[in-house]
């Protein structure tokens, strides 16, 4: 017995066309503009093309793409025909991406030209991929495979909908999914350091809009949404897809790598009303010479990814006249579940619980803590992922019945506002992206000048986390800090690199030989003159 039919793609796009709102602009930006009618047609054609290429319901389709209409079309088309969209970070190198492709068991990969080289490097270690779709092509022949054993079918973007038309499938009805059908996987390093896919359902996409988009943002059809966070983040896909499309509003997509100058130019040209970024980017915007009216079109700004320092909020609001709603969300919850509210912002806090969610704080023994006392934060709500793909032990640790253990330590005031005290582990969140110290340390250990190392977080003058490497030279060797940073940049995604390298005579350890990371963090803070 199945539940009532529900397809998130239909809910986000076709519903507006059927209601006579098809002439509204759904997506715009430097890569193109589409109305809801045009977007619905493109999604249906691409979904039909995927079916014609042999893609089956519940199969994964992995995307390595920047924010552009084709990315949105691919995600929506996958969901429309019952497949599972897996957008992944465009910042990975070939080895890192190859590991994710193998983990997902995806047979189909879609990429854009600027990431084709890294995708091809990744595919050398992912023989299960049988179809590669390349956007931006003009019908040129695919390059010959380097290894006949890894031969695969390759298609220019425009051939996929053509295949659907040739098969007479463009008018096919959407797949008969329901609320609990798989729709989307989002990879996160989370609290254990290993990349893992949080599996989300069709119904969760409507849930995050009903709770946060509608009741916190108050998003309206005349809103224009612009997000610095990309579509492959849970934060970004809510900002640039789920919220605007669910409300019949407009998403502004920019394929360029976000820079303060580029974002300011896009805000000036596109005039968004809702602006989304993280604390690091808000700090970067404050470091520019942007005029006070740069955000005059914006009625609300939103921050997530890491706690927003009160000073950044104060300076931004005073300079640009725009309030920032700081909030806490996670990949596992799909978006924000604790947030400040318009007109009720408490700088330095994460706000109060979003409608549709519940939160609780527990001590180490699992007992509730009183207001004003720190505790481990748990949350529950309908948008929570069903678990991690092929990570049974971690799923049982993080998803505890109806509750999600967030890995954060919080305190709640008597007024119901939640304040972040840090995380319950040693993960680092740099620029809103999780960084595993062990992964960076493994790379550092590959350098022959490194004897021992520990990577920890330090808090900069803006109150933001950055990775710092504490290194003990190998016997008879000297450490060049700039060389080590460059070495990490070559072997890891750029955001994982240490921002500082401190050379030490030794690392503090426990009696059993384990590195005392808390002591290392304090030592790094003292040496850098920052607050731990």
179 Cβ contact list (under 8 Å, min separation 6): 3, 4, 6, 201, 202, 203
Q: In this predicted structure, what is the pLDDT of residue 265?
A: 97
Q: What are phi and psi of 344, to 5 degrees?
A: -135, 40
pLDDT in tens, 201-216: 999 999 999 999 999 9
pLDDT > 90: what percent of the chain?
Answer: 73
Return the H-helix or E-strand segment holding 345.
Answer: none
Residue 95 burial class via C-beta count within 10 angstroms: exposed 0-12, middle 13-18, buried 19 and up: middle
Torsion angle of C-alpha atoms 51, 53, 54, 56, degrees rounded to 10 = -40
Taking Cα atoms as reference points, which of 15, 38, 5 lies closest to residue 247? 15
| Residue 169: band (very low, low, confident or very high) from pLDDT cuts 50, 70, 90 | low
Residue 162 pLDDT > 60, yes or no?
yes
Q: In this predicted structure, what is the pLDDT of residue 433?
A: 81
Give Cα separations from 388 to 27, 84, 187, 384 (angstroms). Answer: 31, 14, 9, 11
Within the chain, which residue ranges are assigned CATH 3.30.300.30? Answer: 428-528
- Write down the CATH superfamily of domain 428-528: ANL, C-terminal domain (3.30.300.30)
Class of 8-197 per CATH?
Answer: alpha beta
| Residue 190: band (very low, low, confident or very high) from pLDDT cuts 50, 70, 90 | very low
Residue 164 pLDDT > 80, yes or no?
yes
Q: In this predicted structure, what is the pLDDT of residue 147?
A: 52
CA distance 373 to 418: 11
| Residue 372: band (very low, low, confident or very high) from pLDDT cuts 50, 70, 90 | very high
The mean pLDDT of 380-409, rounded to a whole number, is 95
The residue with greater pLDDT, 515 or 154, is: 154
Residue 148 pLDDT > 80, yes or no?
no
Q: In this predicted structure, what is the pLDDT of residue 463?
A: 81
Within the chain, which residue ranges are assigned CATH 3.40.50.980? Answer: 8-197
Residue 436 pLDDT > 80, yes or no?
no
pLDDT in tens, 318-327: 999 999 999 9
CA distance 505 to 473: 8
The residue with greater pLDDT, 73 or 450, is: 73
Q: In this predicted structure, what is the pLDDT of residue 512?
A: 46
The answer to which of 218-222, 395-399, 448-452 has the lowest mean pLDDT is 448-452
Residue 262 pLDDT > 80, yes or no?
yes
Within the chain, which residue ranges are assigned CATH 3.40.50.12780? Answer: 201-423
Residue 151 pLDDT > 60, yes or no?
yes
Which residues make beta-bridge pairs with 378? 360, 405
pLDDT in tens, 475-485: 889 999 999 99
The mean pLDDT of 104-109, rounded to a whole number, is 97
| Residue 451: band (very low, low, confident or very high) from pLDDT cuts 50, 70, 90 | confident
Task: Note the Cα 40 to chain centre separation in Å.
Answer: 25
The mean pLDDT of 164-182, rounded to a whole number, is 84
The answer to which of 43-47, 186-190, 370-374, 405-409 has the lowest mean pLDDT is 186-190
The answer to which of 83-97, 169-183, 224-238, 501-515 has the lowest mean pLDDT is 501-515
| Residue 193: band (very low, low, confident or very high) from pLDDT cuts 50, 70, 90 | low
CA distance 477 to 136: 48
Q: Which CATH architecture has domain 201-423?
A: 3-Layer(aba) Sandwich (3.40)
Residue 239 pLDDT > 80, yes or no?
yes
Q: In this predicted structure, what is the pLDDT of residue 470?
A: 95
Indicate the average pLDDT of the chain.
Answer: 91
Which residues make beta-bridge pairs with 455? 469
Q: In this predicted structure, what is the pLDDT of residue 139?
A: 44
Other CB atoms within 10 A of residue 225 CB:
26
Residue 107 pLDDT > 90, yes or no?
yes
Q: In this predicted structure, what is the pLDDT of residue 284?
A: 86
Residue 511 pLDDT > 60, yes or no?
no
pLDDT in tens, 272-290: 999 999 988 898 899 899 9
């Amino acid at each position: 017995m199945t539940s009532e039919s529900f397809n998130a793609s239909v809910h986000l796009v076709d519903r507006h066309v059927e209601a006579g709102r098809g002439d509204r602009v759904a997506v715009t930006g430097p890569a193109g503009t589409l109305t809801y009618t045009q977007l619905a047609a493109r999604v249906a054609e691409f979904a039909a093309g995927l079916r014609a290429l042999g893609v089956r319901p519940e199969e994964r389709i992995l995307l390595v793409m920047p924010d552009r209409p084709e990315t949105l079309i691919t995600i929506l088309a996958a969901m429309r025909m019952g497949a599972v969209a897996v957008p992944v970070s465009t910042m990975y190198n070939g080895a890192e991406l190859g590991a994710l492709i193998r983990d997902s068991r995806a047979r189909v990969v879609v990429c854009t030209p600027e990431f084709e080289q890294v995708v091809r490097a990744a595919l050398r270690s992912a023989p299960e991929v049988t179809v590669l779709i390349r956007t931006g092509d003009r019908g040129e022949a695919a390059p010959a495979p380097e290894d006949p054993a890894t031969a695969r079918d390759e298609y220019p973007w425009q051939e996929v909908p053509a295949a659907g038309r040739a098969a007479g499938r463009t008018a096919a009805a959407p797949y008969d999914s329901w609320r609990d059908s798989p729709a989307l996987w989002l990879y996160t390093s989370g609290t254990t350091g290993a990349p893992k896919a949080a599996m989300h359902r069709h119904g969760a996409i409507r849930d995050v809009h009903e709770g946060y988009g509608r009741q916190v943002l108050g998003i309206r059809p005349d809103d224009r949404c612009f997000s610095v966070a990309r579509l492959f983040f849970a934060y970004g896909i809510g900002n640039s897809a789920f919220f605007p499309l669910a409300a019949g509003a407009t998403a502004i997509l920019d394929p360029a790598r976000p820079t303060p100058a580029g974002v300011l130019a896009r805000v000036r040209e596109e005039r968004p009303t809702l602006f989304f970024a993280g604390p690091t980017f808000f700090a970067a915007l404050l470091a520019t010479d942007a005029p006070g009216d740069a955000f005059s079109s914006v009625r609300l700004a939103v921050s997530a990814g890491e706690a927003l320092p009160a000073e950044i909020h104060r300076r931004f609001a005073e300079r640009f006249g725009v309030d920032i709603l700081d909030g806490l969300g996670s990949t596992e919850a799909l978006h924000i579940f604790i947030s400040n509210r318009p007109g009720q912002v408490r700088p330095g806090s994460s706000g109060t619980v979003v409608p549709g969610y519940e939160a609780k704080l527990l001590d180490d023994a699992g007992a509730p803590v009183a207001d004003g006392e720190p505790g481990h934060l748990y949350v529950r709500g309908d948008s929570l992922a069903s678990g991690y793909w092929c990570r049974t032990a971690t799923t049982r640790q993080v998803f505890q019945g109806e509750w999600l253990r967030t890995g954060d330590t919080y305190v709640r005031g008597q007024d119901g506002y939640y304040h972040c005290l840090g995380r319950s582990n040693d993960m680092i969140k740099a620029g809103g992206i999780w960084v595993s110290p062990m992964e960076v340390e493994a790379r550092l250990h590959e350098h022959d000048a490194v004897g021992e190392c520990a990577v920890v977080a330090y808090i900069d003058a803006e109150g933001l986390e950055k990775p710092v490497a504490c290194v003990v030279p190998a016997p008879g060797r000297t450490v060049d800090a700039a060389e080590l940073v460059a070495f990490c940049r070559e072997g890891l995604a750029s955001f994982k690199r240490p921002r500082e390298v401190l050379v030490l005579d030794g690392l503090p350890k426990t009696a059993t030989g384990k590195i005392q990371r808390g002591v290392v963090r304090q030592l790094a803070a003292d040496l850098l003159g920052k607050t731990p």
